[in-house]
A and B are shown apart, each in its own frame.
Chain A
C-alpha cells in the first residue's frame, strides 16, 4: 500500500491531538511548552506534506518560519518561567493564579 498525502495528514492530526492533550492536562509549565513544540511539529508535517503533494516549495519556506517562531517562543517562554520561578517558587500552571479573581 503506497503512502499517500492523506497518511501524512493523519499522522499530523494524531500528533496534534497528543500535543493538545499535553497542553491541557499537564501541570508542569516546561512540559506544556514541550507539548506546544509537538503541536508546531504537527503543523510542520502538514505544511511539508502539502508542499510535496503540490510540488510547491512555499510550504517548506513557511516551515522555516514556523521553526523560527518555535525557537523564539521557547526562549521567551522559558525566560518567563525562570522569572516566575524566582517570584513564586513554582513551575505548576495551576498554582499561578494571581491574575485570577
Chain B
C-alpha cells in the first residue's frame, strides 16, 4: 500500500467520523469542534490531490473564519435545558425516504467497487507559459477567465456582510 492510499483512508475516516459526531452531539459546542475536525480532513484531501492553495484557503477561511463565527453565535445564544432533551426533529418519513435513497446509491457504488468506474480520460495539462505551481495556476485562471465572477463574489460578500449586520443589530426603540 502506498503512502497516498494510507493517507487517503486516514483522512476519509477522519472526515466521516467527525461528520457523524457533528450531527449527533447533544452539545452544540461539541458539534462545532467536531466540524473543525471534518474540515481539517477535507483540507488534507485537497493536499493529497495537489490543491495546496485550496488547502490553505480551507484552513484560513473555514476554520479560521466561519467556525469562529459559529462559535461566537453559539456563545450568544443560551442553550436551554429543553434542547438537551430532544435533539432530533420529528419528520421521520422524509428523513427515512431520503436516507434510504442515498444509502442505496452509496451501497451500489461500494458493491460495484472503484475499479468499475471509468471516468473520462485524462487530458494532458495545457502549457501556460512558465507557470507551474498550483497557486499560480489558480491565480492565472481566476484573474483572466473568471475575473467578472471574482468581482461579483466580492459584491456578494459585501451584501452578505451588510445583511448580517442589519439582521443582527438591535433597532433603536425596539426593546
Contacts and interface: CB of A to CB of B under 8 A. Distances in A.
B23 A26 contact: yes
A49 B11 CA distance: 14
Interface in B75-118: 76-77, 80, 83, 86-91, 94-95, 98-99, 102-103, 105-106, 109-110, 114-117
Interface in B30-48: 31-32, 35, 38-39, 42, 45-46, 48
A91 B80 CA distance: 9
Interface residues of B, number: 89
Contacts of A75: 69, 160-161, 163-164
A63 B95 contact: no
B66 A37 contact: yes
Interface in A1-28: 1-11, 13-22, 24-28
A82 B94 contact: no
A11 B12 contact: yes
Contact of B76 (A55, A82, A93): A82
Interface residues on A, range: 35 or more
Most central of A55, A75, A80 by chain B CB within 10 Å: A75
B119 A8 contact: no
A68 B66 contact: no
A24 B94 contact: yes
Contacts of B23: 18-19, 21-22, 25-26, 31, 34-35, 38
A25 B66 contact: no
Contacts of A71: 61, 65-66, 157, 160
8 contacts: A25-B23, A37-B35, A38-B19, A55-B122, A56-B123, A68-B157, A72-B160, A76-B160
Interface of A: 1-11, 13-22, 24-28, 30-31, 33-35, 37-38, 41, 44-45, 48-58, 60-61, 63-65, 67-76, 78-83, 85-86, 90-94
Given A83-B167, A94-B90, 10 more contacts: A8-B45, A10-B114, A19-B23, A20-B99, A30-B32, A51-B51, A82-B167, A90-B80, A91-B77, A94-B89
What 10 pairs between A and B have smallest CB-CB spacing? Answer: A22-B23, A79-B164, A72-B160, A79-B167, A6-B114, A6-B117, A75-B164, A52-B49, A55-B125, A82-B168
